[in-house]
Amino acid sequence: MHTRSGIVAAAAISMIALAGCTSYEESDTSGSATATTGSDTMQAQACAPVAGDTLVVLDDDMNLQLSDNMIPAVNADSASEAVLGALDAVSAALDTDTLIQLNKAVDVDRQTSGDVAAQFVADNGLTAPMSGEGSLVIGAANFSENITVAEIYGDVLTDAGYDVEVRTIGNRETYMPALQSGEVDIVPEYAATVTEFLNKSINGAEAETVASGDIDETVAALAPLGEEVGLVFGAASSAQDQNAFATTQGFVDAYGVTSLTELAEACGPIVLGGPAECPERDFCQVGLENTYGIEIDSFLSLDAGGPLTKTAITEGDIALGLVFSSDGALG
């Protein structure tokens, strides 16, 4: 549900129950549920929430979420080799852990996006592979992560010789027309979300979802959609800002789980928390149940990756909660 960048939830692919998913039978006398996977039988624990200050994201090893990797979107008239080379250098330096630290510096430590971007560029020795000239306007969505990455783009392109303005614009419905018209030259985007935004804009609201949990497949679907509206996309970074499921380090240590598959195998019914729509959404409770075979004992309606959900996890009210994968609180 990438609500900050404008919304994967509505475009989530429908999930099909997988043959061989872990199923849970009636509890035995010890209070543990019996889990059966294929011909193997194991005891699934009653995995109660474990309070703790450190949040940990469990690996989405079956790609329940769409691949919302950060990717530069460029007006085709501005997509020179020099510009794309500079943006690709930034993408190569960004991964999810790095994005978490950038967000922590701005959202938790209260530094400015401009200062954080400048420090990141300096620390990583980021320089453009070739020189260019002219003026560029870099647009940003109105939340700190996107603004910080836009500032990083700006610093590297300034180093390449461009006269750069970084402008915070607003949501995708506002900045996308400006990007397509050339009023804005570049915007940091999110691969799956922008793919589905363009897909629905071009092919209609009921168009079949073409983004997937595989970033290469998503980019392959995105490129021709961008071409239709005069956009070129640079290299996708490995940095992802997408829906994720977090627990505490204490929970991970107690039950030995690091992925959603391991959670399904190790645990009986758990307590889940997240936004009110979670129980009916493929990317949330429905996907956890159908894709992974995780059984939900109860659901606590909270918020979308916000303070209510994170507090419920750390205080031990829920075992698993929906967060954003690049949240600074994960740093």
CA-CA distance, 199 to 222, in Å (whole number)?
A: 8
9-65+242-330 CATH fold: D-Maltodextrin-Binding Protein; domain 2 (3.40.190)
Q: Do domains 9-65+242-330 and 70-233 have the same CATH topology?
A: no
Q: What is the pLDDT of residues 141-196, one digit of tens each?
A: 999 999 999 999 999 999 999 999 999 999 999 999 999 999 999 999 999 999 99
pLDDT at 11 over 90: no
Instruction: Compute how many other C-beta atoms are within 10 angstroms of the C-beta atom of residue 28.
Output: 10
Mean pLDDT of all residues belonging to the chain: 89
Percent of the chain with pLDDT over 70: 87
Q: With a cut of 90, say whether residue 139 has pLDDT above it.
A: yes
Fold of 70-233: Dipeptide-binding Protein; domain 3 (3.10.105)
Q: Does the structure show a pLDDT above 70 at 202?
A: yes
Residue 188: the pLDDT is 98
26-72 pLDDT, tens digit per residue, is 333 233 443 333 334 445 788 999 999 999 999 999 999 999 999 99
Would you say 2 and 193 are in contact if contact means Cβ atoms under 8 Å apart? yes
Cβ contacts of 310 within 8 Å, gap of 6 or more: 55, 246, 321, 323, 327, 329
Q: Is the pLDDT score of 241 beyond 90?
A: yes
**Stretch 209-236: mean pLDDT:** 98
**Domain boundaries of the chain, sorted by first residue:** 9-65+242-330, 70-233
Residue 1 confidence (pLDDT) above 70: no
Is the pLDDT confidence value at 329 over 50?
yes
Q: Which long-range contacts (CB under 8 A, 24 or more apart) does 286-289 make?
A: 286/15, 287/12, 287/15, 287/64, 288/64, 288/245, 288/260, 288/320
Q: What is the mean pLDDT of residues 3-31?
A: 34
